[in-house]
Chains A and B, each alone.
Chain A
Amino acid sequence: MRRIWARLKGELFTISGLRIVIGLIIVLFYLLVAVLAPALSPFDPEKLGVGEMLQTPDSTYHFGTTYLGYDLYSRTIYGTRTALEIVLMATLIAVLIGVPLGLVSGYLGGWLDRILVLVMDSVYSFPDLILAIVIAAVLGSGLLNAAVAVSVVYIPQYFRVTRNHTLSVREETFVEAARALGASKLDIIRRYIFPNVSQSIPVILTVNSADAILTLAGLSFLGFGITPPKPFWGLDISEAWRYMTMTKDYPQIWWWTAIPGFAIVILIVGFTLLGEGLNDILNPQLRESQR
C-alpha cells in the first residue's frame, strides 16, 4: 500500500494524476451527496404529489416535477444513495466470491481449476445485461436482489484477474521457499499470494463500479430490480420515456429525462477516470508520456 501511495505522489501532475484527481473529486462528491441526502433534499423523494404535475424547474422544485408530482431534485439526490448502495453491495458480493475462488483455483490448479475457468469464461462471454435481467426477473424486485443480479455479472472478472495474478505469483521463489518450509496451502495463499494479488483489485474495482452503474441503469430502465417508487435515475428516465411515448408530450418535459441522465453520465465518467488514472500509475507498461 505504501508503494502505491509513493507512486501516486510522484505522478500527481501528469495526465494520469489529473485523471485520478478529477475522478476522485466526482466520486467523493456523489458520496457526499448520498450521505447528506436527507439534509440536501427539500422533499421526500418517494412522496407523491409534493408538487404540481410536470412543473418546469424553478426555485422550489429545482429540477422540476414528474407526472406523479415527485420532486425530481430530491429524487436525483436520493438516487445517489440507491446507486452507491447497490454498487457497493454488488461489488462486495462479487469480490467476496470472485477473489477467493480465483486464489484457490489459481493456486490449486487441477480439475477444479479447469471447471471453474470453464464456468467463469462462459458466464463472462455472455452478454452482461441479459444475464442481469434474467437473474433480476427471477429474484424479484428489491435492492439486494438488484445487487445480486449485478454482482453475478462481475464475479468472473474478479475471478480471472485474481487467478491470473495468482498463477504468476505462485511461481515466485519465495512461495517455493514457503512450501519447502512446510507451510500449509491455506497459509501460503493467505500470507503470500493474497497480498501480492490484491494490488490489481483497486483498478478493477473502480472500472467495475462504472460498469455496474451502467448495468443498473439499464436494469431499472427496462423495469427490473428497482421498482417505483424507489428513487433511481434509470427509473426516472424510464418513467419519463413511457409517459412521452404514450402522450407524445415531448418538449415540455425535457428535464425529466435529461437531468437523471446527466447524473448517470457524470458518475460513470468519475469512476472511469479514477480507474484509468490508477491503471496508468499502477501498471506502467503502456506509459506513453515518457517524454
Chain B
Amino acid sequence: MNTLMAPGTNSAATPDAEVVLSIRGLNTYYHTKRRMVKACQSVNLDLRKGEVFSLVGESACGKSTLGMTLMNLLPDRTELGGEVVFEGRNLLTLASEELRQIRGKKIALIFQDPMTRMDPLMTVEEHFSETLKSHEDIERKEARRRAAVALDAVGVPPSRLRDYPHQFSGGMRQRIMIALALVFHPALLIADEATTSLDVVVQAQILRLLRQLKDRYGLTILNITHDLGVVAEISDRVAVMYGGRVVEQGTAEEVFHRAAHPYTKGLLSSVIHMGSTSLSWIDGMPPDLGHPLPGCPYTPRCDRRVPVCDGGFPDERELSPTHRFCCVNPSGEGPGASGGREARPGEGRRGGASPR
C-alpha cells in the first residue's frame, strides 16, 4: 500500500508524554424537532502534549461536532454525556463563565472558512483587542503591541492591523485567524478543516506554519480533516471516525501501514496516487446519524461484515499499546477480502464479495 508521503516521521509524542486533554465516553446528541441525531457516541481519545493528533473521516461522521463539543460551542438543544478532562476539570460540566475563560486562552479553535469567521465591520486590530480584553485587563497600546507580535509570528505584516477582513486574501485571513488563536499561547489548538478551503500551495504554507508554531510554543494540535494527504504530512497520531464513532486510532505509521478496520483500509485505498491505473472507492453512502443502526455503523458498506456485526458495536481491541480499533472481523484475520475494492476498467458492478 503506497501513500503519497511517509507518515509519522515527525513524532515528538511518545506514549509517556503528558496528557493534555482526555476524552472519555463522550456522547453528543442533537435534539431536533423530529428526531435525535447521535453525532458522537462513546468517543475515547487522549491528546498528548506537543503532538499533532489528526481526526479523519468523511463528511458528517461527527468529527467537526467533536471539535465543537470540546469547547461546548453547540446549539442549545444538545445533550452531552461523558467527560472531557482538561487541567483536571471536566469541561462539560463547567459553568459558562469558567468555560469562556478557557476558550481562546487555554484552548483555541480555528475554522474552515476564515472569511465568514471574521466580523466584516471590524478591523483586524479590533478583533485582537476584543479577544485580549475579554481575558485580561490591558490597555489599547499593549493590546496593539501584542497583536502586532502575533501577526508577525504568522507572517502577516503588522502594518495591516487597521485593515478589514475583506481586504485580505484567503491565506492571509487564515494566518490572522491562527494569530488570533495563538495570541495567548494556548495549550491546545483545535483546527477544524483549517486548510480545506485553501489551494494546495497556500495549504502547504499554512501547514508548515502550524508545525513551526507548534515546535516554538509546545502546542498540541487536534487536526480535524477529511484530507488524508494533510494527515499523512503532519500527524503524529491519527483517529478514524465513522458514523459518530472512533473506529480506529494509533500512531500515523500504524494506521497508514497496518490499518485494521475495514473502513480505514477502504479510505486509504481510495486515495489516488501516482502510477495507479484504476480507481478505488467504497460503495454506499455515509450513515444517517439520526437513525443509527444497532450495530456497527459501517456494516452496510463493509465487505468484511459478518452476522454479529449487526448485533452491537464491537468492543475495542488492541494491536499495540498505541494502536486500537473496534471491529470483530478486521483485515488480516478471518473471512472476507482484504479491505478496499479495486475496479478494473470495464467492470461495472461489484462482483464476488459477500452477498447482500
Is A–B contact present in the complex under a CB 8 A cutoff? yes
List A residues at the B interface (Cβ < 8 Å). Answer: 289-291
Q: Which of B264-302 contact A (CB under 8 A)?
A: none
Contact of B32 with A by CB under 8 A: yes
Contact sample, A vs B, 7 pairs, CB 8 Å cutoff: A289-B33, A290-B32, A290-B33, A291-B31, A291-B32, A291-B33, A291-B77
In the complex, A177 Cα to B32 Cα: how many Å?
A: 41
Residue of A nearest to B76 (CB): A291
Q: Which residues of A contact B33 (CB under 8 A)?
A: 289-291
Q: Which residues of A contact B31 (CB under 8 A)?
A: 291
Would you list the 7 A-B pairs with minimal beta carbon distance, nearest first? Answer: A291-B33, A291-B77, A290-B33, A290-B32, A291-B32, A291-B31, A289-B33
Task: Classify the secondary structure of A's interface with B.
Answer: loop
Q: Which of B31-78 contact A (CB under 8 A)?
A: 31-33, 77
Residue of B nearest to A291 (CB): B33
In the complex, A290 Cα to B34 Cα: how many Å?
A: 9
Task: Classify the secondary structure of B's interface with A.
Answer: loop
Q: Which of B6-54 contact A (CB under 8 A)?
A: 31-33
Q: Which residues of A contact B32 (CB under 8 A)?
A: 290-291
Residue of A nearest to B33 (CB): A291
In the complex, A290 Cα to B77 Cα: how many Å?
A: 11
In the complex, A291 Cα to B77 Cα: how many Å?
A: 8
In the complex, A289 Cα to B77 Cα: how many Å?
A: 12
Q: Which of B204-219 contact A (CB under 8 A)?
A: none
What distance in Å separates the Cβ of B77 from its nearest Cβ neighbour in chain A? 6
What distance in Å separates the Cβ of B113 from its nearest Cβ neighbour in chain A? 20
Q: Which residues of B contact A290 (CB under 8 A)?
A: 32-33
Q: Which residues of A contact B77 (CB under 8 A)?
A: 291
What distance in Å separates the Cβ of B161 from its nearest Cβ neighbour in chain A? 36
In the complex, A71 Cα to B143 Cα: how many Å?
A: 75
In the complex, A290 Cα to B75 Cα: how many Å?
A: 12
Residue of B31, B33, B77 most packed against chain A (CB within 10 A): B33
What distance in Å separates the Cβ of B108 from its nearest Cβ neighbour in chain A? 30
Q: Which residues of B contact A289 (CB under 8 A)?
A: 33
In the complex, A290 Cα to B33 Cα: how many Å?
A: 6
Residue of B nearest to A14 (CB): B33
What distance in Å separates the Cβ of A240 from its nearest Cβ neighbour in chain B? 50
Q: Which of B172-195 contact A (CB under 8 A)?
A: none
Residue of A nearest to B77 (CB): A291
What distance in Å separates the Cβ of B169 from its nearest Cβ neighbour in chain A? 30
Residue of A nearest to B31 (CB): A291
What distance in Å separates the Cβ of B116 from its nearest Cβ neighbour in chain A? 17
What distance in Å separates the Cβ of B31 from its nearest Cβ neighbour in chain A? 8
In the complex, A289 Cα to B31 Cα: how many Å?
A: 13
In the complex, A219 Cα to B33 Cα: how many Å?
A: 47
What distance in Å separates the Cβ of B51 from its nearest Cβ neighbour in chain A? 39
What distance in Å separates the Cβ of A251 from its nearest Cβ neighbour in chain B? 52
In the complex, A291 Cα to B31 Cα: how many Å?
A: 7
In the complex, A290 Cα to B32 Cα: how many Å?
A: 7
Q: Which residues of B contact A291 (CB under 8 A)?
A: 31-33, 77
What distance in Å separates the Cβ of B35 from its nearest Cβ neighbour in chain A? 12
In the complex, A290 Cα to B31 Cα: how many Å?
A: 10
What distance in Å separates the Cβ of A14 from its nearest Cβ neighbour in chain B? 10
What distance in Å separates the Cβ of A287 from its nearest Cβ neighbour in chain B? 10
In the complex, A31 Cα to B77 Cα: how many Å?
A: 43
In the complex, A289 Cα to B76 Cα: how many Å?
A: 13
What distance in Å separates the Cβ of A13 from its nearest Cβ neighbour in chain B? 12
In the complex, A13 Cα to B281 Cα: how many Å?
A: 45
What distance in Å separates the Cβ of B273 from its nearest Cβ neighbour in chain A? 38
In the complex, A290 Cα to B37 Cα: how many Å?
A: 14
Q: Mark B69-106, 1 if CB is under 8 A from A, else 0.
A: 00000000100000000000000000000000000000
What distance in Å separates the Cβ of B223 from its nearest Cβ neighbour in chain A? 31
What distance in Å separates the Cβ of B78 from its nearest Cβ neighbour in chain A? 12
In the complex, A289 Cα to B34 Cα: how many Å?
A: 12
